[in-house]
Amino acid sequence: MSPPLLNPPDPAPPNTPTLQWHRLSSRIIWVDLVITALSLLPASVAIWVFDVDASEGQIWPLIALAVFGALGAIYDVLRWIFTRFRMTPSYVELKTGVLLRRHRSVQRDRIRSVDVEAKLRHRLAGMRVVNIGAGQQAAAGESALSLDALSVADARTLQNSLLRGVEELPEAQQSTAAPEDGPQELPSAGAGGNVPSRATAAGHIVEPLRVFARFEPGWFIYNMFNIWAYALALGVGWGALWLLSTVGLDLYGFIVGLLDWGAIGWVGTLFIAAIAVGALGAIGLGINYFTENWGFELARVSSREGTMLRTRKGLFTTREVNRDENRIRGAQISEPVVWRWMGVSDTSVITTGLDVSSMSEPAAILPRGPVRRAAEVAGEVLGDSDNPFHADLTPHPRGALRRRLWWATGFALALAGLLAWLAVIDVVAYQALWAAAVFWPLALLAAGVAYRALGHTITERYVITRSGLLSRATTVLQRSAVSTIAIRESLLQRRLKLCTVSAMTAAGDGGYDTPDIDQQQTLEFAVQAAPGLLDPFVIHRNELLRQVARQPWRTVVNPHVTRAD
């Protein structure tokens, strides 16, 4: 018999469950059964209702759709069986994988975002997808941990616990907990040492401290005109053509029979097709704006470490993104050149810990909308009394315009040379050289537009720079966030006495350029952009005069330097 313990541990408090491994919500199995039935429905209707022969090639895509739906349902069932997660006082852990098991964990004090997302099937079944981010991605476009799917109450409880310190165990612990060998851990207490009751926090959505913007129905006009309208229309048209052809309806023949295309000619045909496809795509993008941004709200909410910038939106697929305001380093407003006359802009924040290459655009804080409203909201988010987006920018020297005119002329000459060579070898007609003659004035006009977009200034807290032709971007970056200054010049810039200054940071795209600054102002701008960063490398005027006085025969040069911390 083992000797008794000198200091036996205190018994666990009553009604305090131990931390165990939990399953995802079992509702995902029933959802998959419904999806399997729906994926079988098109092929069944085509065979039994429209009497389509299964041996025909048109039915095989529907059969492939049914197989794909069934395999997806089987995969979700296996994922539910083999997935476990738990939340300890120090870590959030996830075990998953069928053939290849993975055990991943994230320290709770390193968690920067807990985003809640729900597709239509999740919303109908009362489930949510929780993406836990820790300032890095496990793979391209992947969050640190992803839990698909939890019940609505469990998702909100987990979010409140990780972001706001409201300690509370999810419902899954009681209903679907999987026992673990060995000792169990006790849950950490919330504020005051007590575990809050489920009625006070389960499924609770934190009320915002301040609302910056809400859904604007009139903004759909800014989202209808886009080059993606043609891609959307062609995709939908091809899908409708294929789907109707499987049941014996000839949509192509119906369109061909509408007009006498031979009398109209190929020019008229292309014009009508462009108008029709563009109109269909614009309507589709307008509908997409409502479905994607319905219920949009940009607000500041409280968190465990201060405040967060929360975005909520979506009609069929809802999404909530939380950004730690302690990690926001600035903001950027981009104006596409084709729609600049409408005042269209895209607004995003410059922050660390977000995947800027993600298709979900987690850094975007507003839908595409009017630039004046974007500047107002972005300034309020940054929290300065003087909106940095309203600051007067310093224009760039005329040498910047000459550089762009040289580049435009060079591209026109290169195009003319290419077309001339193709004409000599009888690939194109000599009349094609007129394309270069038309391209040259357009390129010169674009050079002028690009020059007018240039501007920069420095305020007490921010480096503000503006540039870009296809998308004129106004960037406001905190001076304290600049970790590296790079000064470079090309051969043409050196001749025109211009330089490009790059302010590099750990947030956003990693670096923001201010092109074609006057060479004499470059060093001053670089020193002010990053206070104290270049001081060890800069020789001040008084020190320079002293060196010249001591060694008048020696020339002292200030080289352009690049420092990387």
Q: Confirm if 524 and 515 have CB atoms less than 8 A apart.
A: no
Residue 78, SS3?
helix
User: What total of structural domains would you count in the chain?
Assistant: 3
Confirm whether 249 is domain-assigned.
yes
Q: Confirm if 470 and 453 have CB atoms less than 8 A apart.
A: no
Residues 193 and 163 in one domain: yes
d(CA 293, CA 296): 5
Q: How many CA atoms lie within 13 A of 413 on its CB side?
A: 6
Instruction: Tell me which H or E stretch contains 35.
Output: helix 27-48
Backbone angles phi, psi at 519, to 5 degrees: -60, -35
Confirm whether 244 is domain-assigned.
yes
Residues 403 and 439 in one domain: yes
Q: What is the dihedral of CA 213, 214, 220, 222, to 10 degrees?
A: 0
- 487 strand-pairing partners: 501
d(CA 507, CA 249): 53
Q: Which of 284, 16, 25, 6 is nearest to 152 (CA)?
A: 25
Q: Which of 135, 152, 153 is nearest to 144 (CA)?
A: 135
pLDDT tens for the chain, residues 1 to 565: 444 433 444 343 444 344 788 888 888 888 878 877 777 776 666 666 666 655 555 566 667 767 777 887 888 888 888 999 998 888 899 998 888 888 888 888 888 778 888 888 888 888 999 988 776 544 444 567 888 889 888 888 888 888 876 555 444 444 444 444 433 333 333 333 333 333 334 445 678 889 999 999 999 999 888 777 888 888 887 777 776 766 667 676 777 677 666 777 778 778 888 888 888 888 989 999 999 999 999 999 988 778 889 999 999 888 988 888 888 999 999 998 888 888 899 999 998 876 665 656 788 999 999 999 999 999 999 988 889 999 999 999 999 999 999 999 999 999 999 999 998 888 888 888 899 999 999 999 999 999 999 999 999 999 999 999 988 999 999 999 999 999 999 999 999 999 999 999 988 888 999 999 998 888 889 888 888 887 777 765 555 455 555 555 444 444 444 433 3
Residues 269 and 162 in one domain: no
Residues 262 and 164 in one domain: no
Confirm whether 51 is domain-assigned.
yes
User: Buried b vs exposed e over 178-205: b needs ≥16 C-beta within 10 Å?
Assistant: eeeeeeeeebbebeeeebbeeeebbebe
Q: Confirm if 214 and 299 have CB atoms less than 8 A apart.
A: no
Residues 37 and 137 in one domain: yes
Range of the domain at 418: 398-534
For tokens 């090639």, the residue is 57
Residues 238 and 193 in one domain: no
CATH of the domain at 427: 2.30.29
For tokens 């014996």, the residue is 248
Last residue of a domain, one of 156, 175, 205: 205
Residues 173 and 254 in one domain: no
